[in-house]
Structure 1
Amino acid sequence: MAQAGTNQSALARDIGVDRSTVSQLVSGSGARLPNGQVVAECARALGVSADWLLGLSDRPESAARIVANAFRITEAPRALVDQQIFDWHLEADGYKIRYVPPALPDMLKTREVLDWEYTPHLGRTAEQAINASEERLEWMRDSASDYEISLPMFELASFAGGTGYYAGLPRDLRQAQLARLQRLAAQLYPRMRICLFDARRLYSAPLTIFGPLQAVIYLGSNYLAFRDTERVRAITRHFDHLVREAAVPARALGDHIETLLQEM
């Protein structure tokens, strides 16, 4: 009643019972539980779930609202700095962030690679976005969160070879990028750990897990965001399996990148 800004008299009028009935419910002095209609009407009037009123759930939201909050589809713009993703990072500050990026993580890229990748799509706004991306890296350095990143091995191999998505990216930019990735991985370890999994054995869609709060799967033009505990746990187990089965664990990433550089 306090949350809804109401009182016993007003609630009694809303649900069509005597004030004494509400008083008994609040005081716990009634000999019997209220009937189903009274419970349902109380839940409707107060904007909560009947299960919560009866002590059967620790979630006060209605069932419809729980379902709505448990799963959302949000827009994923083609941009270096996605405000929605950053807001989710701020919300989860202090929790472990698990990340399977769709490509090399933007915040770990050199300005030259970002410019090559985004200027054709963003035009003159790319410079502003690149500056903001660097600010996000600095924010990550000071964040209370640990970051665990899992990439498929072929992503770095394709980058080093300038094939697939990275076709046309000059070799000197690729070499500088790999050296930067190697340097940042060493500097930020163990707060940031990057491992590589073998996509011939394992598969993962791009996703981010914000501690126990939320898991987000990236579709390209949209995010699928899950907040219910069971789905978050299931996606977390999937990510942890990628780490356990990593072909290149975080401690060996530097040596792996060094091998790629020598082959280049």
Structure 2
Amino acid sequence: MFYLHRMKLSLNTVILALALGANALVGSSWSMTNVPSTGITEITFPIAILEADHISGYYFAQQFAFTGTTDIGYTGLQPRPDSNGKSVLHAAFSSFIAGTTSTDSNCSDGADGGAGVSCSVEWNGVYGRTYNLEVVYQVWSGHWVGTIVDTVTHARVHIGSYKLPSGVGGITSSQVGFVEWYPWNGGEPADHCAKLPYQKTFFGNPTTTHWGSKGTVDLPYEYGDCKGQVDLSAHKVDGGVQVNCAAVRVPGSDWRGENGPGFNAELPRNLVLSAQSQLLTPLVAV
């Protein structure tokens, strides 16, 4: 996966580093007000995959940084092929900080070939539904915990947990989210930008229970070697931003989602009723 780490966290540096990521497509900065110098101990990122082919390939993520280190973590959602007639989503929760440890069965050592820990789970998620991706520090265990919360049913799915090394503090006030088509990390096909599958995603303003803090997500922008070639459309919506790009549909793949908060549905209601019956049931951690 594409990620940004080992860098100073000024906005200019973040944007510069993003521009060097050839296999990512879209970036969007987020920020939180009234964050103490020690950082905050919990943050929530709302994300909805509004429309996408039900195949592996896209990664919709939000990165977060910590005090006391220049490395980062991230959490996000990925589409997966349907299973037994039900849609499947994949959630990730990772740390790229050397010395991170975990005994969680959903987690493994290493992150994208480097130091850290990677945690993930798959469940019968619903396209078009907003999920809150929680990142919370447990004082009693000393672990950071990643959780998916269904904003409709309020069901919770555990992604994973890890412990950061001594000297690493709370989450800082800003970082960057991204949209990535990760199959290109293994090599780009000829005329690859024209072959990018369509997607539409909602990134909500981050939230926290820390007193006086308010989160915002900025308007997404293109970068990478497909800049100007993927028909990007990005605009503010209630509670966040919506971004869609590309125009290729994979034959035989369903991409429809249910009507949910943060966007205006463009599909007849009878086309999306089946998505509402999906169960928030963990399938397997991978």
Question: Shorter chain as normaliser: what TM range?
Answer: under 0.3
Larger Rg: 1
> TM-score, normalised on structure 1?
0.23
User: When you count helix as a share of all residues, which structure comes out higher?
Assistant: 1
Q: Taking CA–CA contacts closer than 8 Å with sequence separation of 6 or more, which of the two structures ends up with the larger relative contact order?
A: 2
Higher strand share: 2
TM-score of the aligned structures, taking structure 2 as reference length: 0.22
